[in-house]
Amino acid sequence: MEKEKVVIGMSGGVDSSTAAILLQNSGYEVIGLFMRNWDSMVDGEIEGAPTTTQGICPQEVDYEDAKKVCEKLNIPLYRKDFIKEYWDDVFTYFLEELKKGRTPNPDIMCNKYIKFDLFIKEAKRLGADYIATGHYARIKNGKLLRAVDRNKDQTYFLSQVSKEQLKNVLFPVGELEKPKVREIAKQYDLITAEKKDSTGICFIGERNFTNFLKNYLPNQPGDIIHIETKEVVGEHMGLMNYTIGQRRGLHVGGSKERMFVVGKDLEKNILYICTGEDNDYLISDSCLVEDINYLGDEKITKCTAKFRYRQEDVPVELEWKEKEVLVKYPQGVKAVTPGQACVFYDGEECLGGGIIKEVRKNNEKLWYL
């Protein structure tokens, strides 16, 4: 009997490596596919791409690691460039959101447009019955569920992937805790077993965020103003370098108290800060969410939500509008940020979500956001 064929996204990390092992052990014919999204975007390859992009991401190292893993497991590995598409659909979105003073999440858009769109189409060309990735998530009965390892759960980043895109998708490591994933890789003596997890956004990597952005968006320094005293307390390096709730990198002298970013005025190029992490200016009680991707069966009005990846679940009420959702949390939540994803959950199930458009308090939009 012919084996069912799975094409797995091999990233050169331990999660996809172990996922490939699990698929093989489950009796699938496994094919690896490595996506190149950024690092070869050099002079002349893409119209409008800055010359400073050469050598930004260590993706060649990742490819070599993926190749060694596939050779060890006797899995064929293909390589596909999605460089232009990544530039058009993910990186351009990232820059445009920053220009609006928002805080985007490009990893969510990468999943939507690259990993679960272009990748799936390429996998089908390779004859895939299923596709698989190393994401920490689960799918059961067509529902997207949180991973067993809550600390590594990545359903937040999958919240813009559609029901159709999630069909015939496998998440082999979603049932495992991270230490077990590494243990399996060690048992097979894979080069990725002890490899450090990648952090941050691919095209920035481990480098300084502010220095990276200088290559694409010119810095426009301006005043840092204390929102309560209205005093100018310092100078910012360009509004795109800051996000709501940020404490580090403010360079505000003359005060021993902890300062936090609380708002931005794009027209006047002002960065507003406040004193203390529980400052009332940081707290909102509702937000308007757009670009909704709903994965549930029926629209519900009570659930929990995350407004940031590492945040604990917050009980919310949903007021559905034609193309948006008003998300209410009367208990108050700190540092809800335009441009970030608001992701809905019903227990274990991820119901999808949308992008925070507007932050409110007492039924009014916060003037400084």
CB 200 within 8 A of CB 58: no
Distance CA 69, CA 33 (A): 12
Distance CA 175, CA 100 (A): 39
What residues pair up with 32 in beta bridges, in sequence order? 8, 77
CB 25 within 8 A of CB 147: no
Catalytic residue at 57? no
Angle between helices 178-187 and 14-25 (to 10 degrees): 70
Distance CA 144, CA 159 (A): 9
Catalytic residue at 303? no
- DSSP output for 137-191: EEEETTEEEE-SSTTT--GGGGTTS-TTTTTTEE-GGGGS-HHHHHHHHHHTT-T
Distance CA 28, CA 219 (A): 51
Question: Which candidate in 202, 287, 342, 350 is catalytic?
Answer: 202
Angle, vertex CA 159, rays to CA 84 and CA 306, nearest 5:
125
Please say whether the dihedral angle defined by the alpha carbons of residues 58, 99, 342 and 325, taken in this order, is positive or negative: negative
Question: Which candidate in 110, 287, 342, 350 is catalytic?
Answer: 110
**Residues with a known catalytic role:** 110, 202
